[in-house]
């Protein structure tokens, strides 16, 4: 996925989860939208390097969106919505080999009994069996591993349970973790942050929910999923 033109600045502070005050290289101080509801631990700190995009849409209250940060030598894509976009691209171009062989792909489809939306729905025209793919953006660095989640997530717990329901109905269900930072470290579930998420995760994979973990390649021009399934540590 190609980035729109990235504009460099320094973070002044992030607040109210979805807002960040930034000073651009030209001296202009702006407030940018932060498309990330997580804690963003290990992703952002005062005075860190950041990159934003500008959007000249009259309907938008905030004209800038935070896209990238840099911690040490590592670039991090903090826009969680990007994970879905690059996952779709990676399925369509054959990078995610485990999700090939389907005639149809549709994002954001309603499913289940809780009026939820699955991130990606895959199916073949000659089969009633569908493949439900839930995507999570991974950005938490715990030192020796990358991990998800970075905060307690009842919504994430529900998504796992809904995937298990689809398996029980005879479908295929896949939990896809997309690592949106350049650190090449093992991945695991952050059980110390959300014990219940980890418990449900263990239950659903025992019930047949598949797990895929893919790394992103990030530079100032584009972000793409690369390589093979990193699998899960521990």
Across the chain, which distance is largest between two alpha carbons, in Å? 59
Domain count, the chain: 2
Q: Is residue 231 assigned to a domain?
A: no
Range of the domain at 171: 81-226
Q: Please write down the long-range contacts of 128-133, taking CB distance under 8 Å and 24 or more positions apart.
A: 129/170, 129/171, 129/172, 130/166, 130/171, 130/172, 131/99, 131/102, 131/171, 131/172, 131/173, 131/174, 132/163, 132/166, 132/171, 132/172, 132/173, 132/174, 133/87, 133/99, 133/173, 133/174, 133/176
Comparing C-alpha atoms, which of 215, 140, 219 is closest to residue 178?
215
- pLDDT tens-place string over residues 136-161: 999 999 999 999 999 999 999 999 99
Last residue of one domain, picked from the residues 77, 105, 126 = 77
Q: Is residue 47 assigned to a domain?
A: yes
Last residue of one domain, picked from the residues 45, 61, 77 = 77
What pTM was estimated for this model as a whole? 0.95
Q: Is residue 194 assigned to a domain?
A: yes
Residue keyed to tokens 């530079």: 219
Residue keyed to tokens 């690059």: 86
96 and 193 together in one domain: yes
Task: Say which CATH number the domain at 70 has.
Answer: 2.40.50.580
Angle at 42 (CA atoms; ends 36, 46), nearest 5 degrees = 85
Give the pair of three-digit tokens for residue 12.
């002044």
- pLDDT tens-place string over residues 162-196: 999 999 999 999 999 999 999 989 999 999 999 99
Residue keyed to tokens 């717990």: 157
């Amino acid at each position: 996925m190609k980035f729109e033109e990235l504009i460099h600045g320094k973070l002044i502070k992030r607040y109210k989860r979805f807002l960040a005050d930034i000073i651009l290289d030209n001296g202009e101080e702006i407030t940018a939208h932060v498309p990330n509801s997580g804690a963003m631990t290990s992703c952002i700190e005062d005075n860190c390097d950041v990159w934003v995009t500008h959007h000249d849409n009259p309907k938008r209250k905030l004209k800038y969106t935070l896209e990238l940060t840099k911690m040490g030598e590592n670039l991090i894509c903090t826009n969680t919505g990007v994970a879905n976009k690059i996952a779709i691209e990676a399925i369509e171009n054959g990078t995610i080999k485990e999700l090939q062989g389907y005639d149809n792909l549709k994002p954001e489809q309603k499913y289940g009994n809780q009026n939820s939306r699955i991130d990606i729905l895959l199916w073949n025209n000659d089969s009633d069996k569908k493949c439900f793919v839930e995507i999570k953006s991974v950005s938490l660095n715990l030192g020796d591993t990358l991990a998800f989640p970075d905060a307690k997530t009842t919504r994430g717990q529900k998504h796992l349970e809904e995937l298990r329901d689809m398996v029980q109905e005879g479908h295929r269900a896949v939990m896809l973790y997309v690592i949106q930072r350049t650190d090449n470290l093992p991945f695991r579930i952050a059980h110390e942050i959300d014990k219940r998420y980890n418990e449900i995760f263990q239950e659903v994979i025992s019930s047949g929910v598949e797990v895929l973990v893919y790394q992103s390649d990030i530079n100032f021009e584009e972000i793409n999923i690369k390589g093979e399934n990193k699998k899960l540590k521990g």
